[in-house]
Amino acid sequence: MPQPVWTFFVNALKIFQCPFTFCNSEDIFVAKIRYIYLKYQFMEDTIAKTELLNGGEFLIRDARAEDTFIPEELNEEQKMIRQMTTDFLEQEVLPKAAQIEKQVEGVVPGLLVRAGELGLLGAHMPVAYGGMELDTNTNTVISDVLGPAGSFLVAIAAHTGIGMLPILYFGTPEQKEKYLPRLISGELKASYCLTEPGSGSDALNAKSHAVLSADGKNYVLNGQKMWITNADLPISISFLLKLMATNSLVLS
């Protein structure tokens, strides 16, 4: 269903502020124009029209077959993004699979920057921070295509998921402004430090803690973390959930 014509111009303004391009070989300007046109035509269709269910509600509620999203229902925009992601996987990620698994220095950070250039790191992030604000189905398509990416999938998933989402959901306006655009571009790499030698799933049992310095300007972090994806990347930022003296969880 076509949207009102003014949405074309609103989308045009938004997209031209974004780092989203489609593939190496295509002229960025033409790709963006094409994308804006498709967004204008189809964006409304990418937003789920069905009632949203919370958590595990799907287990106890009757579900209609037509409410279940299937790949055959991908719209033109989603197909383009799937193709662009497939090109990235096949042409840039898979040829480096052995280097990725051997953790050759610079390979994963370089691919994350490349993913940022393609818009893949901000597909789920607000336009205000340089993201694409695409719907869950489109982001599922991206994750699905990157499934065979081996350890690179773990890196990009940790970056865009457990690394970035806590900032989006719980960060202060200043933290979002400061970090999200640079995480969306791939300049910064995100990691999420939860697991400790003595606690994993049982997160509230974490022993690491943050104490505000006497001048109130910095937090002093003490403790031990392990198994942190992306923590070894250069310019990695680690967002830790720290148990404070007040027993409240904070993002630092």
Ligand X SMILES: Cc1cc2nc3c(=O)[nH]c(=O)nc-3n(C[C@H](O)[C@H](O)[C@H](O)COP(=O)(O)OP(=O)(O)OC[C@H]3O[C@@H](n4cnc5c(N)ncnc54)[C@H](O)[C@@H]3O)c2cc1C
Q: Which residues bind ligand X (CB under 6 A)?
A: 154, 158, 191-195, 200-202, 227-229
Q: Nearer to ligand X by C-beta: 9 or 227?
A: 227
Report, in Å, the least distance between residue 101 CB and ligand X.
Answer: 12
Encoding tokens for residue 169? 């959901």
Q: Is 156 exposed, middle or buried (0-12, 13-18, 19+ CB in 10 A)?
A: buried
Q: Are 239 and 230 in contact (CB under 8 A)?
A: no
CA dihedral 30, 35, 41, 43 (to 10 degrees): -170
- Provide, rounded to whole angstroms, the least separation between the CB of residue 152 and ligand X: 12
Specify which residues 193 forms β-bridges with. 240
Q: How far is the CB of 124 from ligand X (least distance, A)?
A: 18
H-run or E-run covering 80: helix 76-88
When the beta carbons of 62 and 202 are compared against ligand X, the nearer one is: 202
Q: Which is nearer to ligand X, 23 or 231 (CB)?
A: 231
Whole-number minimum distance, CB 202 to ligand X, in Å? 6
Q: Judging by DSSP bridges, how do beta strands 189-193 and 236-243 pair with one another?
A: parallel
Return the number of the residue (22 or 239) whose C-beta is nearest ligand X.
239
The set of residues, in sequence order, having a beta carbon less than 8 Å from that of 41 and lying 6+ positions away, is 2, 3, 76
Q: Which class for 57: exposed (0-12), middle (13-18), buried (19 or more C-beta within 10 A)? A: exposed
The residue whose two tokens read 């998921």 is 161
Measure CA of the first residue to CA of the last residue in the chain; give whole Å.
44
18 versus 111: smaller Cβ distance to ligand X:
111
* Of residues 16 and 227, the one with the C-beta less far from ligand X: 227
Nearest of 247, 250, 229, 246 to residue 238 by alpha carbon: 229
- Nearest distance from residue 208's CB to ligand X, in Å? 11
